[in-house]
Structure 1
Amino acid sequence: MATVLSVNLAVPRPSAVTTPGVTGIDKRPAARPVRVSAPGPKGNGLTGLEGDRVFDTAYHGGDDQAVYAYAREDLDAWAVELGRDLPSGCFGENLTTSGLDVTGALIGERWRVGDEVVLEIADVRIPCRTFAEWMSEQGWVKRFTARAVPGAYLRVVVPGEIRAGDPVVVLSRPEHDVTVGVTFRALTRESELLPRLLAADALPRGVKETVKKRVAEAPAE
Structure 2
Amino acid sequence: MAHLLSVNIGRDGVIPGTHTTTGIYKEPATGLVVITSSGIPGDVIGDRKLHGGSDQAIYVYFQDDYDWWSGELGYAPQPGLFGENLTIVGTDSASTAIGDRFAIGDTLLEVTYHRTPCVTFAAKMGDKFWVKRFHRANRPGAYCRVLQPGTVQAGEEVVITPYPGERITVSDLMAFDVTKDIPLDFMRRALTTPIREKTRFKYETRLADLF
TM over 0.5: yes
Distance 1:189 1:4, change over 3 A: farther
Q: Which secondary structure does the structure 1 equivalent of 2:95 belong to? A: coil
Counterparts of 1:71-82 in structure 2 under 5 Å?
71-82=62-73
Partner of 1:130 in structure 2? 120
Report if the CA contact (8 A) 1:122-1:153 is conserved: yes
Q: Which secondary structure does the structure 2 equivalent of 1:78 belong to? A: helix
State the 1:189 CA deviation.
4.5
Cα distance in 2 for residues equivalent to 1:188 and 1:30: 35
Counterparts of 1:84-163 in structure 2 under 5 Å?
84-114=75-105, 116-163=106-153
Cα distance in 1 for residues equivalent to 2:75 and 2:33: 29
Q: Is residue 2:54 matched to residue 1:55?
A: no
State the 1:77 CA deviation.
1.4
Q: Which secondary structure does the structure 2 equivalent of 1:118 belong to? A: strand
State the 1:135 CA deviation.
0.5
CA deviations on 1:52-107 (whole Å, 9 max, x unpaired) are 12011111111111110111121121122111342100100011110123332121
Cα distance in 2 for residues equivalent to 1:126 and 1:194: 21
Partner of 2:30 in structure 1? 31
Structure 2 alignment gaps of length 5 or more: none
State the 1:216 CA deviation.
6.0
Distance 1:120 1:145, change over 3 A: same
Report if the CA contact (8 A) 2:16-2:124 is conserved: no
Report if the CA contact (8 A) 2:34-2:40 is conserved: yes
Identity of aligned residues (%): 38
TM-align CA RMSD: 2.1
Instruction: Answer with 48-57 or 156-165: which moved more.
Output: 48-57
Looking at both structures, which has the greater relative contact order when contacts are Cα pairs under 8 Å and sequence separation is at least 6? 2
Cα distance in 1 for residues equivalent to 2:149 and 2:111: 15
Report if the CA contact (8 A) 1:29-1:89 is conserved: yes
Amino acid at match of 2:144: L
TM-score norm. by structure 1 comes to 0.86
Structure 1 alignment gaps of length 5 or more: 40-47
Report if the CA contact (8 A) 1:37-1:159 is conserved: yes
Cα distance in 1 for residues equivalent to 2:79 and 2:50: 23
Distance 1:59 1:71, change over 3 A: same
